[in-house]
Amino acid sequence: FAAAACGVAGPVVFQVLTSSPTFTEQLVINEIPGMSATNTITVKGNFNTLSFAATDPNLRHTLHINGADNLRFEDLTIEAVGAASGWAVRMSNNANFNTFKRCVFRASETATLSTYAAFALTQSPTAVTCAQNGTASNLLIDSCQITGGYYGLCLGGNGLTMGVRPS
């Protein structure tokens, strides 16, 4: 996403090569200049995996959409494999109009600590269940699988916690 950091002037598609090795990295996508309903970025994952083992409790995420709008992720597995904490996806700072289609969000399936979540809308780098405002809106999660985590899917907003459901 470094290529898009300077902005976009039209729709962009990143096509991940089929049968690529697992991408072992932590990815943060900040607001991108020029993004709109027309000027979108689509990541076609081709059933590949983005994986990260968090070691810093303040940086638990594998993918953090931090204020970026109009992103689309297709056919991508995003997993958090940290030994003490891990969030596969974190969205914050008004990350609006984003879409995930046919993706897999995975965190530890044996987690007994609340430091694990497969998918979280949270402003906090360390808590998924506190009151949240301005995390994300108009989010579409279509035909995706959410696996593991102490919390599978945690959606917080408008000064109350909603959508918290242990997996």
Asked if 27 contacts 56 with a C-beta cutoff of 8 angstroms, the reply is no
Pairing of strands 41-52, 12-15: parallel
Kindly indicate the confidence band of residue 167, based on its pLDDT and cuts at 50, 70 and 90.
Answer: low
Using one digit for the tens of pLDDT, what is the confidence trace for 9-48? 999 999 999 999 999 999 999 999 999 999 999 999 999 9
Tens digit of pLDDT for each residue in 46-87?
Answer: 999 999 999 998 999 999 999 999 999 999 999 999 999 999
Rg of the chain's alpha carbons, rounded to an integer? Answer: 15
